[in-house]
Structure 1
Amino acid sequence: MVNNYKYFLVLSEELNISSAAKRLFISHQCLSKYIKGLEARYGVSFFERKPKFALTPAGKTMLDTLRQIELSEQNLENQLADIKDAKSGTIHFGITEGRYPIIVPKLLKEFHNLHPKVKLNIHRTTSPQMQEMVLNNSLDLFLSGVSNLVSHNLKYEIVVNERMYIVISDNLLKQYFPNDYPQCKETFAKGADLRLFQQIPFVLNKENFNSRILLDKHLLELGVSLNCINELTQPDIHYLLCAEDYAASFCLTMYLSGINQLNQFKNGYSHLNVFPIANFTSVNPLALIYHKNKKFPSYIQDLKNIIKRLCSPYSTPIE
């Protein structure tokens, strides 16, 4: 086994000796000496120094191997914890920013009551970033859609199937459907045909995000495009912009409660309408995602069960 292998892992992430040394709480000279000694031991260069600091093919091979070693050590610790029946440890759980306030407060309370000696660290970031974190062993599991999974080393358990809806204010409906308002609301309540919304401004998610992948697939099937004037990743900002009559947007089932709150408290905002999308049969499978070779301590199953129960009210049966 390579001694101090975490030095290599951190440097391969930072690709800067000074930044990596600072993160490792060692000197620049110590880290540089370590890498030179490792390269001398194996007779290869693991890092290119010019024109920029980067992994060589040998470095990428070493990185893959050390990630496997790190995962094996984590699995060993988890298995030994169960043998000792030690109900203590740390879980690194990831969730997207928009779902955080919906799930996490209740999750933290319920899990702490069940396992007070297990620390549950929550990481709020994007689905692509959480995939990377699972693959580099810095995250145990995360909650996200599965449409943009890119690695065969990821495994998932679906917890809910969400529907997608269009979100649009009364004022935008009046502006773009002047001859049909307010009767159009009754029509759209049965299913809004997106071919009728091509001139309306939209704020959409980024292209590699799950909800956008589902939407783009539907638009491709219809042979139409929407007038996207902005791309943002925060769902709550989407709906605030809708309430300001800036644009229309889209919503997954779990976020409907936030829109209802906006309508309830008003605060000078326009009323928001939420319509199902006509002929849109796809669902967003929301899943717990983790490394396929990860071995968890038994208390992780309790965490999974709580998350599944908290998500279950948002599920939609597949037709």
Structure 2
Amino acid sequence: MSLRGLRYFLVAAETVNFRRAAEKLFITQQTLSAHIQKLESRYGTPLFERKPHLRLTPAGHCLREYARKAIKLEELFLAELADVTDTVTGRLNVGITGFRATIFMPRIWEIFHAQFSNITPSMTEAPTARLDELLDKGQLDLYIGVDAPVRKNTEAWTLSQEKACCIASREFVRKFFDEDLLRKAERGLEISDLIHLPQVGFSRGNTLRESLDIYYQERGLHPRVVFETSRHDLALRFCEQGCGIGFVYQMSLYDLLQKDRARTDLRVFAVRNDFPPKHTMLVYRCESYKPRYMTGFVEAARKVFKEYSDSIDGIIAGAMAQGEK
């Protein structure tokens, strides 16, 4: 039995389309069909019904479950080999959401690679729901997501808890903030204080956007949104250009303020409204065997996020104080 053939079969079973499966595997459709036919010949039964449309037979459904187990067993074997010898290379499939990859993954990799240079992390960026689905399918070893669902077959660590704040360029503040608003800003702004100002917002599906929408709907308020994006870096850029105010979680500002606090034109204001806290979490499956290098990655991630949690309040406070000068 060829593990390669089983891997090809699993992709075909997932896509239920030989052409798309072949494209995903970077092989020809003819090569894929040959591997499927070898499996069908070996087991003496069709694995797919070809007409009226492609679908798994009962035998195909059965093989899919055993194929997943067989491939997982090989992965566990290779993981144990990588633990006992540096001459065996391994791969750690890591998922992470959006801009967290840019902010945190280089530092996590630096710590991890110093200990496990024979292991290659392979990163997938996607929303938390998709990462959780990939973990459940066995296509990820672990992921870093937001308010991730915790299941009976998973373990999770909370890496950080986020606070919301308001940002605007210095020029925007000079143009739109009167003396009364500046006095309020010293104590922290209410969202209702800013409803008349142009706003750079996030697209639907963003957790902070959802909290703001609930706040506006409950009070019958209508914000003046001039631009929407799903990208945090783009929202920051538009706010720096003076297009409007923005509501962001502190993590969005971490890299910018840590490296370029003196150069950024952004002012940062505390928000007095209570938003539901956002938790960054690391999630992995409960396994009978957890490779040493996987534990090493978890420890590296926890260390990097602790560095962040220990410093972010001070960085934000420094940015607020600098903005008042």
Q: Please classify the TM superposition score into its range, dividing by the shorter chain length.
A: 0.7 to 0.9
1:97 CA drift (Å): 3.9
Maintained 8 Å contact 2:48/2:55 = no
- SS of equivalent residue, structure 1 residue 313: helix
Answering whether residue 304 of structure 2 is matched by residue 313 of structure 1, we say: no
Structure 1 CA distance, aligned partners of 2:152 and 2:61?
Answer: 18
Deviations along 1:92-136, one digit per CA (max 9) or x if unpaired, are: 223334223322222222222122222223334443443343233
- Distance verdict in 2 for CA 1:301–1:42, change over 3 Å: same
* Residues 55 and 306 of structure 1: CA distance in aligned 2, closer, same or farther (over 3 Å): same
Is 2:160 the counterpart of 1:160? yes
- 2:277 corresponds in structure 1 to 283
Does the Cα contact within 8 Å between 1:166 and 1:251 map onto a contact in 2?
yes
Amino acid aligned to 1:163: K
1:245 to 242, 252, 255: 242
In the TM superposition, what is the alpha-carbon distance from 1:16 to its structure 2 partner? 3.7
Q: How does 1:211-230 map to 2 (within 5 A)?
A: 211-216=208-213, 218-219=215-216, 224=221, 226-230=223-227
Instruction: Note if 1:274 corresponds to 2:285.
Output: no
Contact 1:78–1:295 (CA under 8 A) maintained in structure 2: no
Q: Pick from 297, 302, 306 the counterpart of residue 303 of structure 1.
A: 297
Cα RMSD for the two superposed structures: 3.8
From the superposition, tell whether residues 24 and 279 of structure 1 become closer, same or farther in structure 2 (CA, over 3 Å): closer
Q: C-alpha offsets along residues 134-186 of structure 1, whole Å, 9 cap, x if unaligned?
A: 23333222222116x49776542111112111222234445544xx24x5234
1:78 Cα deviation from its structure 2 partner? 3.1
Offset at residue 89 of structure 1 (A): 1.9
Percent of pairs identical after alignment? 23
CA-CA distance at 1:191 after TM superposition: 2.3
More off after superposition, 193-202 vs 204-213: 204-213
Which residue does 1:256 correspond to in 2? Answer: 253
Q: CA deviation at 1:21?
A: 2.2
Measured in 1, the distance between the counterparts of 2:157 and 2:50 equals 37
Instruction: Write the letter of the residue equivalent to 1:169.
Output: S
Q: Which moved more, 1:190-199 or 1:216-225?
A: 216-225
Sort the Cα spacing of 1:64 and 1:175 in 2 relative to 1 into closer, same or farther, 3 A: farther
How many residues are treated as equivalent by the alignment? 305
2:318 matched to which residue of 1? none
Match of 2:139 in 1: 138
Alignment-derived partner of residue 265 in structure 1: 263
- Which residue of 159, 174, 181 corresponds with 1:184? 181
TM-score normalised according to structure 2 size:
0.74
Q: What SS class does the counterpart of residue 264 from structure 1 fall into?
A: coil
SS for the counterpart of 2:262 is helix
**Structure 2 gap ranges (5+):** 311-325
288-297 vs 29-38, greater mean Cα deviation = 29-38
User: In 2 relative to 1, CA 256–28 (structure 1 residues): closer, same or farther, beyond 3 Å?
Assistant: closer
Name the SS for the 1:250 alignment partner: strand
**AA matched with 2:128:** S
Instruction: Report the TM-score, using the length of structure 1 for normalisation.
Output: 0.75
**Using a 3 Å threshold, how does the CA distance of structure 1 residues 232 and 27 change in structure 2: closer, same or farther?**
same
CA distance in 2, matches of 1:54, 1:314: 48
After superposing the two structures, state which structure 1 stretch, 121-130 or 56-65, moved more.
56-65
Structure 2 distance, partners of 1:156, 1:242, is 35
Question: Would the aligned equivalents of 1:239 and 1:259 in 2 still touch at CA under 8 Å?
Answer: no
Cα offset, 1:79, TM superposition: 4.6
Q: Is the 8 A contact 1:242 1:249 kept in 2?
A: yes
Is the partner of 2:92 in helix, strand or coil? strand
User: Residues 197-239 of structure 1, C-alpha deviation per residue, up to 9 Å, x if partnerless?
Assistant: 3333333333334443454455556564534444322211110
Give the Cα separation in 2 of the matches to 1:62 and 1:234: 41
Residue 199 of structure 2 is aligned with which of 180, 198, 202? 202
Residue 275 of structure 1 and its aligned partner are, at CA, apart by 1.8
Distance in structure 1 (CA, Å) of the matches to 2:306 and 2:128? 20
SS at match of 1:108: helix
